[in-house]
Structures are given as C-alpha cells and as structure tokens.
Structure 1
Amino acid sequence: MKKLQFNQTTLHVVKGDITRCEVDAVVNAANESLLGGGGVDGAIHRAAGPELLAACRTLDGCRTGDAKLTPGFRLKAAHVIHTVGPVWRGGMHGEADLLASCYQKSLELAEAHGIRTLAFPAISTGIYGYPLEQATAIAVGTVLKYLENQPESDITEITFVCFDDATVYAYEQAFEEFERGTD
C-alpha cells in the first residue's frame, strides 16, 4: 500500500472494494440521475440498500462536476458523496476541469459536514472512458492542491480505492510524480 503524507492528511492507494471501506464517507462515481447504474455506482447502491435510492430520489439529480451528500445506510461509511464525472470525449470539451471539480466539490462537501476520512474511486475511468493516467494525475493533483489551500483541513485520511492493479499503478505513479516535484 502506497501512502503520502501532506500536512495533517495521509493519502493511501489500495486495491479493494470501496463498499467495504471503513471511512466516514465513500465517494460514488454517479450518473446525473443519482438513481444507480453500473460499476462503482451500482455496487454502492446494492451495498447501501434501497434506502439509498430513496434518498437519492429527493436530490433532483446532480450536474457533472458537482457533488451531493446522502447517508450511507447499510455501508460501513456513514455518508455517501455522489459526484458525476465527465464522459471522455477526446479531452477538448472541458473534461479535465469537470473531473477536477468532482474532487474539489467532494472535498468541500466533506469538510462542510465534518467528514474526516473518505475513500475515492477512480472517477470517470470506467464506462465514461477517461484515460487512466490523466484521470489519476488530476485526482491526486486536485486533492493535493485542495489540501495546500486548506492547511487547517480536518480531513485526516483520503484513500484512493482501486478496482485493479493497473489503477493502483497509475495512482502510485501520480504519487511518485508529486514526490519528485517536492525534492
């Protein structure tokens, strides 16, 4: 397990199942309806139970790049932060800014609700087709920029939960890139 310390926050990369994470909040790579789907979204909805769908119905969806909060219901996590990543359309349609916004808005929402530990999936890298290396660089870069701009952040732990070895490797490379830049 690769880890990186930044101010008071520890960042981890792990291979595993985000629905089993023992954190204050898991981040859901949702679609705009927030009513469940495939991949991480479907897994979180199945694990959280039908109460999550009922709670999501009251939120009136979510725009790409934004984030909304619900309870975690049957998850080990007390909360779910739902964020909608961009569909990859070649990189010339604001995808990078929208993806960065997913991480930024999720962190802001966590901070506003006293969430100290959270787990992120690799947003937009599944069916939405975002190139893995670019997506992980944006994820790590956005999180570190947020922590740099919020030195008094109460967030103590951020875990990037990866579905497979290729994603673990991409996050580890992004961590190493940051470490090289700080030497």
Structure 2
Amino acid sequence: MRIELVQGDITTRAVDAIVNAANSSLLGGGGVDGAIHRAAGPELLEACRELRRTELPDGLPVGAAVATSGFRLSARWVIHTVGPNRHAGQTDPALLASCFRESLELAESLGARSVAFPAVSAGVYGWDARQVAETAFDAVSGFAASRPDSGVELVEFVLFSPGMVEAFRRVREG
C-alpha cells in the first residue's frame, strides 16, 4: 500500500473514497465536513438524514465509520467518521486510531482502491497535529500489515495547511 502526503483540498481528489471528519449528527458542520457537504451537493445531506432516520438514530459514534455516495464529488464514496473531541474530554488515542482503521475496513468492503484522509480530530477537535499523524500512520501501517491482499492500494493524507503537511512529513520521516 502506498501512502502519500498531499497539500490541498480533499474535495478535489481523484480517489475512490474520501474520508469526512464528520460530527456525530452527520448533518454537516465546519472545516472539512462543511467543505465536503458543499462540494457533494444537497444530496449528501439527504443521504445523511436518511442514515439518521434508519440506521443511526442516535448519530454516528466516535471512532465508527459509515459510507454514502460521493454525489457531485469525483470520489465515488464519502466515508464519514467521527473523531474524538479533545475539548470534550475524548483523549483516548485508541478512538482516534479507530477512525482510520474503521474507514479503511469500510473502504475495502466497498471495493475502493484509493482513499483520501484529512487530519481527523486536528483543528477544532483540539488534537495535536503530531499525535494525529503518528496515530494515522500507525493505523494505516497496521491495516496494511494485517491485510497484505487488501484491494486498498493508495492512501492519501490530504492536508489543507503547509504546517499540517510538515507535521505529517516529520512523523513519516521519523
């Protein structure tokens, strides 16, 4: 599995699935979540409302993942995951790792060969960029080692700011 760092807008990536750093309501928000909802169009919000009405009446739990169509995105799927919010006392790195692992498992089950991740829980959820990067690389590497025959061939970390890219690069280079 190839792992690449990209500075840019996750909504423009030509991958099979993009991961949305969603909130548990799945009904849109700020940051990456808002950008994905805007780019995918109103159909994404309707799909998320349907998930809430049927499968997830209490919302998506922290660390879990669920998929919808990508609608107006070039990505076929959006995989929504809810990262832990450090400001709300959610400080367990296992919850953060679960976001990456569950998203990759779901991507694999969908048949996705390429997946783009944002820096889940960095930013407004208060996690340090370095800790997010360490957790993300560990989770993706662990997934790749446990599933050598996985159809997921490419994982991109698509990071909006130069500072976030640098934090991921430093962790990657050790």
TM-score normalized by the length of structure 1: 0.89
Q: Number of paired residues?
A: 168
Q: Secondary structure at the match of 1:143?
A: helix
Q: Is the 8 A contact 2:87 2:125 kept in 1?
A: no
**Alignment partners' CA distance in 1, 2:47 and 2:3:** 29
Q: Secondary structure at the match of 2:81?
A: strand
| Divergent runs of 4+, >6 A | none
Q: Secondary structure at the match of 2:3?
A: strand
Partner of 1:172: 169
1:162 to 151, 159, 164: 159
Partner of 2:43: 51
The one-letter code matched in structure 1 to 2:173 is E
Partner of 1:64: 62
**Alignment partners' CA distance in 2, 1:142 and 1:11:** 12
The one-letter code matched in structure 1 to 2:155 is I
1:26 to 18, 39, 61: 18
Q: Is the 8 A contact 1:87 1:95 kept in 2?
A: no
1:125 to 100, 122, 127: 122
1:88 to 63, 81, 86: 86
Gaps spanning 5+ residues in structure 2: where? 53-58
Residue 93 of structure 1: how far off its partner (Å): 4.6
The one-letter code matched in structure 2 to 1:51 is E
Residue-by-residue CA offset, 1:65-113 (whole Å, 9 max, x unaligned): 00000000000101000000000149x7553011000001000000111
Partner of 1:79: 77
Gaps spanning 5+ residues in structure 1: where? 1-8, 178-183
Alignment root-mean-square deviation, CA: 1.2
Residue 175 of structure 1: how far off its partner (Å): 1.3
TM-score normalized by the length of structure 2: 0.93
**Alignment partners' CA distance in 2, 1:89 and 1:45:** 24
Partner of 1:97: 94
**Alignment partners' CA distance in 2, 1:24 and 1:170:** 25
Q: Is the 8 A contact 2:85 2:91 kept in 1?
A: no
**Alignment partners' CA distance in 1, 2:70 and 2:48:** 11
